[in-house]
Amino acid sequence: MKLTLSTWQRIMCVQTLNAQAGHISTIRKALKLLEILELNEEERVAVELRELQPGQYMWTDTQRRFELEIKDRELAAFLRRAVEQYGQWPVEYAAHVLDLCQQLGIEEGSDGDEDL
């Protein structure tokens, strides 16, 4: 799976993975994905990323997008489920969220609110 993600999308994917809990296989999958999704030092410098406090970030280059590839289908499916099940998406970033969902192949209506 090839993805073209903004800094915000990468940080949010990392947060969705950090929110995972469960069996050791879950932890291993999340760790493998974090190796791909977390920004390395060079990327942090390029976007001028600063951590204000744990979990709160600021960066200057808001237009930068990163091309990433998740070659393992099982890992790609795990990321898709983690993003789909995450319940803290901010509406003010709807365009970023919807773009991420489209890239991951998450269909509209698969939000868990079918009973409403």
Please state the pTM of the whole predicted model.
0.87
Question: Given this model, what pLDDT does residue 107 score?
Answer: 85
Give residue 42's pLDDT. 95
| Tokens linked to 20 | 């995972």
The dihedral sign for the CA sequence 91, 48, 102, 112:
negative
Distance, CA of 81 to CA of 29 (rounded, Å):
12
Q: Could you read off the pLDDT tens digit of each residue along the chain, which spans 116 residues?
A: 999 999 999 999 999 999 999 999 999 999 999 999 999 999 999 999 998 888 788 999 888 999 999 999 999 999 999 999 999 999 999 999 999 999 999 987 655 554 43
pLDDT at 55: 76
Check residue 116 and give its pLDDT.
32
Q: How far is CA 37 from the centre of its chain?
A: 7
What's the pLDDT at 110?
55
